Structure 1
Amino acid sequence: MGATYALAVLVILLVAFTLNRLYWRLELSRAKHPSLQGHSKMARRVARWVPFYEFQGDALFNCDGAPESIAQRRREGFQALSARLRGATSESGQLTSSLEQHLSDTQFINSYRVPFQFRSAVRDHLMPGMVADASAGTRIRDIDGHWHYDLSGSYGVNVFGYDFYKSCIDEGVNRVRNLGPVLGTYHPLVLDNVERIKDISGLDEVSFHMSGTEAVMQATRLARYHTGRSHLVRFCGAYHGWWDGVQPGIGTQRAVNDVYTLKDMDQQTLRVLRTRTDIACVLVSPFQALHPNGGAPGDATLVNSDRHCAFDPDRYGDWLRRLREVCTQRGIVLIFDEVFSGFRIAYGGAQEYFGVQADMVTYGKTLGGGLPVGVLCGQHHLMKRFRDDRPTDVCFARGTFNAHPYVMASMNVFLERIQDPSIRRVYRDMRALWDRRVEQLNHALELRQLPVRVVNLVSIWSVIYSRPGRYNWLFQFYLRAEGLHLSWTGTGRLIFSHNYTDEDFDAVQHRFIAAASSMEADGWWWNDGRLTNKRIKKQILREMLGCWLRGRGGAGRHAPAAGSPIPDQ
């Protein structure tokens, strides 16, 4: 009898334990975004099954089911665009091709400018040159001698214009010339940098690193060290550097089991933060305010026209304040990753812009005055890397090139110059200025009935497309042909420097509209009224399935039935 009773109790406890685990697992699942980006492990599994196929010949011009008359316009337009780009960047293009044979970064970039179905066509006919030899004002000059308005922002480095940073570097080198590249011993100006960064961040201590990725790595490591908890929370779609510890999805080969990817701006996420006991920190990329729960928009994934970006500063600011409150209540470290947004959207970055103080902040990009740097700022108790009562229990982080004299000196000049009244005036009027420019360009596009619009977070823009289609990725090449310099992500992220005058912007607007008009004239935005984003996705799924099935039988890599029209659903 006693044994039976004990067994019953054990079964009840086991059932209760299992139900409890299932309950908390369900709560966690409800806080995940329903997209594949919200389920990192599932995304990796699915990615392994996506087959490679490509469009060639006629299918390149009518994979959306366009009639022959439209396909012919596209052929002619494609040929003209190819000739225009090749003629303008012949030397730069040749050198770029030579680099690609030996530089792995270039191989990757050139392979992921557009959806993979069109990769070969772009490589053979539209490959842009990537070699430049001068910059001035708001423009960059390629080695063929052509000047292009810069819409790349050097991936975020260029906030105040290239001349500003060239001057920072030149003066910085002069300040430390007598010391030179001495490592491990600090130049006196490092203390001035520390005091200025503390004042900007509102935090107690600073550590220097060689990149934003390294700064984020140290921030999350210290958060785990001091809280004694295992997991970090990141939000769906956010990018925090290439380290797999904060990027557990596609692109990471190691299984990552200590990261929760949760929904941005969601009440269920707050519930998880309030109830779980294993969360060390929450990592926030303020740039996500432009596209919550979506990845950084790039043209490599622009397969239809459902790219969605919209910035609501009041709503996002309210979310960050509620997040701050929960983290404070639960002893969770709130980290702002301002590697990209710092010094761009406000003098004090997102903390100032949204009025929320973080426990830790990472900076990079522009803070080095044009040279590579990563910076971590934090509260005293979070920045300490050892325990007084346990001398061998340390949180190690050290880099040979941290606080390199030339980087510190360029940073010192940068930090001095952003105190100048002219720079402070730029910050004061910045939001209204860029909102006005966006409104001006969108109004001009609307008048011409062109199916493109732009949305912005201050000087960071994304292009969105209002007419369903499969060829929006081509727009980046029409923009380049008009003398606009873009990063490899294409129209997903246009980054303007804050030295753009109204005259500069008018020139960009003129070229932007010209590019959109040419794209429209060449038939790439054709739509018969039945072509929807949903139907495009279904067509791509059918193409993949057909390719996968044929691949098992040894067939080629071309898309199945690529030129056939999409049937009614």
Structure 2
Amino acid sequence: MGKSEALFEQAKRRIPGGVNSPVRAFGSVGATPRFIKSGSGAVITDVDGVSYIDYIGSWGPMLLGHNHPVIREAVIKAAENGLSFGAATESEVTMAELICGFFPSIDMVRMVNSGTEAVMSAIRVARGATGRDKILKFEGCYHGHCDAMLVSAGSGLMTSGVSASAGVTAGCARDTLTAPYNDLETVTRIFDRNKGELAAVIIEPVAANMGVVLPEDNFLAKLRALCDANGTLLIFDEVITGFRLGPGGAQERYGVYPDLTTFGKIIGGGMPVGAYGGRRELMEQVSPLGRVYQAGTLSGNPVAMAAGIAQLTYLKEHPEVYEHLESSAEKLFGGLQVLIRRYDAPCALNRIGSLGCLFFTPGPVRDYGGAKSADTGAYAEYFRHMLGSGIYLAPAQFEAMFISDAHQDAHIEKTLAAAEAFFGSRLK
């Protein structure tokens, strides 16, 4: 038994499922989680000394790769002055200026401690600003584990949501409506059935929590127009896409700008941090200026701010990072597409920028239903093969692959060689 296996057995006695976040359990891929000891660039190393080319990157924020020296030194320097003060610091102001400078839709921003907290707070602002209760979300879009967002579709298109998690009250679920992603017709009917009741529509502008699903046919622009026509706020959850798809996130890439935006740990170089922001008149609803209360002792803590300032400043000063990300992504995902055709594999590949997903279904995958058609057993085989070849992928079919600036041609070539060996072996 290796150290990872031994640690997992020990962890299961003290931690639910042996992990502190469910997907880490490797349950859907029939494997034992690897306990990671260190990371550098595009590579992580487990407690048994085995190294892997990493395509998770702490679920997205390691845009520059693991343990980037600029971020590491900024964190060390900040920690030398103290870890938390529960008081205002200069770094919070610097961070706010940076974010607002990247995103034209954001006049003011409030720091929090996670993407979940950012979403929870943005929804509260939307309800406070509009005086309305109902929220519309999309099937397969994950917005953190706050109660109102743990909702899936009910038995009818227009019914209120039913919670997907125990412990969430029916009352909380009642005000969350759901629609299929990319389905404007259903969204329009929901607006018609709930005239003057929708406070906000919240969406991942590129869905990245059911694999990767792109918005089609000007879906985002049409959604923006629907919200405007109905006095409903549009919230973009850019926890995954913010800064990854470009300096101005998905909203810059698609040219559609929301009323409120949420961010997660990517703004802190992987540190536990989040933020939400938007137009001045909306953000002035937040306490102490307005009646929407939200607070947090660790919000804007100096260590996370130092990491965030270092990462965002680096991106601002080095726009070539995005060129390299695009080039690397084209090599990896383009190479996988070639393998799909060469071996006539029943797979679909969705990709935008440095974000992508290989679905084990012929596809196309344009919504949650399409994603759920994937053969999870086949993905589990693929995952175990790749892990054994030194490639660390998401231990679940319905997650994204993330490329960092640290991924080089040699990493991608090794990854494609391992994938080809898998597809080739299935033809025997």
| TM-score scaled by length of structure 2 | 0.84
Whichever of the two has the greater Rg, that structure is 1
| SS in structure 1 of the partner of residue 206 of structure 2 | helix
Instruction: State the Cα distance separating 1:436 from its structure 2 match.
Output: 4.5
Q: Find out whether 1:260 has 2:177 as its counterpart.
A: yes
Q: Find out whether 1:406 has 2:310 as its counterpart.
A: no
The aligned counterpart of 1:284 is 203
Q: Find out whether 1:463 has 2:366 as its counterpart.
A: no
Quick one: distance in 2 between partners of 1:278 and 1:153?
Answer: 39
The aligned counterpart of 2:228 is 328
Change (3 A) 1:479 1:96: same
Quick one: distance in 2 between partners of 1:110 and 1:172?
Answer: 26
The aligned counterpart of 2:403 is 496
The aligned counterpart of 2:317 is 420
Quick one: distance in 1 between partners of 2:427 and 2:388?
Answer: 15
Contact 1:153 1:495 in 2 (8 A): yes
Quick one: distance in 2 between partners of 1:111 and 1:369?
Answer: 24
1:189 paired residue among 85, 91, 94: 91
Alpha-carbon RMSD = 2.7
| SS in structure 2 of the partner of residue 419 of structure 1 | helix
Contact 1:201 1:377 in 2 (8 A): no
1:237 paired residue among 117, 125, 140: 140
Letter in 2 for 1:494: M
Quick one: distance in 1 between partners of 2:286 and 2:37?
Answer: 47
Instruction: State the Cα distance separating 1:276 from its structure 2 match.
Output: 1.2
Contact 1:173 1:409 in 2 (8 A): no
Instruction: Note the residue ranges of structure 1 that are not aligned, 5 or more in a row.
Output: 1-85, 116-121, 298-308, 522-569
Q: Which runs of 4+ in 1 moved over 6 A?
A: 467-470
Deviations along 1:90-134, one digit per CA (max 9) or x if unpaired, are 22222222222222253554766328xxxxxx4xxxx33421222
- Residue pairs, 1:365-380, within 5 angstroms: 365-380=265-280
Contact 1:310 1:455 in 2 (8 A): yes
The aligned counterpart of 1:301 is none
Q: Find out whether 1:106 has 2:27 as its counterpart.
A: no
The aligned counterpart of 1:157 is 61
Quick one: distance in 1 between partners of 2:259 and 2:375?
Answer: 44
Change (3 A) 1:102 1:518: farther
Deviations along 1:215-234, one digit per CA (max 9) or x if unpaired, are 10010001101100010111
Instruction: State the Cα distance separating 1:455 from its structure 2 match.
Output: 2.8
Quick one: distance in 1 between partners of 2:354 and 2:141?
Answer: 19
Quick one: distance in 2 between partners of 1:402 and 1:110?
Answer: 26
Which range moves more in the overlay, 472-481 or 351-360?
472-481
Contact 1:131 1:143 in 2 (8 A): yes
Contact 1:361 1:377 in 2 (8 A): yes
Quick one: distance in 2 between partners of 1:518 and 1:153?
Answer: 28
Letter in 1 for 2:259: D
Quick one: distance in 1 between partners of 2:361 and 2:90?
Answer: 55
Q: If each structure's helix is expressed as a fraction of its own residues, which one has the higher value?
A: 1
The aligned counterpart of 2:156 is none
Quick one: distance in 2 between partners of 1:176 and 1:493?
Answer: 32
Contact 1:475 1:491 in 2 (8 A): no
Letter in 1 for 2:283: M
The aligned counterpart of 2:259 is 359
Instruction: State the Cα distance separating 1:271 from its structure 2 match.
Output: 4.5
Deviations along 1:430-476, one digit per CA (max 9) or x if unpaired, are 44652343222221343244444533222222222357967313221
The aligned counterpart of 1:94 is 6
Instruction: State the Cα distance separating 1:362 from its structure 2 match.
Output: 0.6
Equivalent pairs counted in the alignment come to 397
Contact 1:208 1:375 in 2 (8 A): yes
Contact 2:321 2:405 in 1 (8 A): yes
Contact 2:136 2:201 in 1 (8 A): yes
Contact 2:393 2:401 in 1 (8 A): yes
Quick one: distance in 1 between partners of 2:187 and 2:398?
Answer: 31
Quick one: distance in 2 between partners of 1:458 and 1:470?
Answer: 25
Quick one: distance in 1 between partners of 2:311 and 2:205?
Answer: 22
Quick one: distance in 2 between partners of 1:406 and 1:498?
Answer: 23
The aligned counterpart of 1:169 is 72
Change (3 A) 1:381 1:351: same
The aligned counterpart of 2:114 is 211
Contact 2:267 2:308 in 1 (8 A): yes
Quick one: distance in 1 between partners of 2:63 and 2:91?
Answer: 23
Instruction: State the Cα distance separating 1:332 from its structure 2 match.
Output: 1.1
Contact 1:169 1:369 in 2 (8 A): no
| TM-score scaled by length of structure 1 | 0.65
1:222 paired residue among 125, 133, 137: 125
Instruction: State the Cα distance separating 1:428 from its structure 2 match.
Output: 4.1
Instruction: State the Cα distance separating 1:379 from its structure 2 match.
Output: 1.2
Quick one: distance in 2 between partners of 1:453 and 1:502?
Answer: 23
Quick one: distance in 2 between partners of 1:343 and 1:110?
Answer: 25
Contact 1:476 1:491 in 2 (8 A): no
Q: Find out whether 1:269 has 2:187 as its counterpart.
A: yes
Deviations along 1:348-389, one digit per CA (max 9) or x if unpaired, are 10111111111110111211122110101111221124699x
Quick one: distance in 1 between partners of 2:190 and 2:251?
Answer: 24
The aligned counterpart of 1:440 is 335
